[in-house]
Amino acid sequence: MPEALPKTMLEVFRRQKYQLVGSHSAVKKCRWLHQSLVHGRACYKQLFYGIQTHRCIQMTPTLACNMRCVFCWRIQPEDIGVRWDSWDTSKIDDPKTIVDGCIRAQRKILSGYKNHVLTGRLSGEKYQEALSPKHAAVSLDGEPTLFPQLEALLEEYRKRGFTTFLVSNGTMPETLAKLSIEPSQLYVSLYGPDERTFLKACRPHIPNAWEKVKKTLDLIPSFKNPTVVRLTLVRGVNLKNAVGYAKLIKNAAPVYVEAKAYVYVGYSRKRLEFENMPSHEEIKEFSAELARELSYNILAESSDSRVVLLSKLQKPISLARKDLSK
Instruction: Identify whether 73 is part of a domain.
Output: yes
Classify residue 156 by burial, with Cβ atoms within 10 Å: 0-12, 13-18, 19+.
buried
Number of helices (H) and strands (E) in the chain: give both, helices first.
12, 10
Instruction: Identify whether 24 is part of a domain.
Output: yes
Long-range contacts at 84-87 (CB < 8 A, ≥ 24 apart): 84/4, 84/5, 84/6, 84/9, 85/205, 86/4, 87/4, 87/24, 87/62, 87/146
Query: What is the extent of the structural domain holding 215?
Result: 7-81+94-311
DSSP characters over 14-74:
HHTT-EEETTTEEE---HHHHIIIII----HHHHHH---GGGEEEEES-S--SB--TT--S
Does the reported pTM lie above 0.85?
Answer: yes
> Could you report the per-residue pLDDT of 38-70, keeping only the tens digit for each?
999 999 999 999 999 999 999 999 988 999 999
Instruction: Identify whether 319 is part of a domain.
Output: no
Question: How many angstroms separate the CA atoms of 324 and 103, rounded?
Answer: 18
Q: In the prediction, which pLDDT does 50 show?
A: 94
Q: What is the DSSP letter of 5?
A: S
The three-point CA angle 289-41-158 to 5° equals 85
Task: Look up the CATH number of the domain holding residue 100.
Answer: 3.20.20.70
Instruction: Identify whether 44 is part of a domain.
Output: yes
What is the count of structural domains for the chain?
Answer: 1
Amino acid found at 143:
E
Question: How many angstroms separate the CA atoms of 4 and 24, rounded?
Answer: 10
Q: In the prediction, which pLDDT does 3 show?
A: 45
Q: In the prediction, which pLDDT does 61 show?
A: 95
Instruction: Identify whether 323 is part of a domain.
Output: no
Instruction: Identify whether 249 is part of a domain.
Output: yes
Instruction: Identify whether 87 is part of a domain.
Output: no
Low-confidence ranges of the chain (pLDDT < 70): 1-4, 85-89, 321-326
Q: In the prediction, which pLDDT does 323 show?
A: 44
Instruction: Identify whether 322 is part of a domain.
Output: no
Q: In the prediction, which pLDDT does 226 show?
A: 97
Q: In the prediction, which pLDDT does 104 show?
A: 96
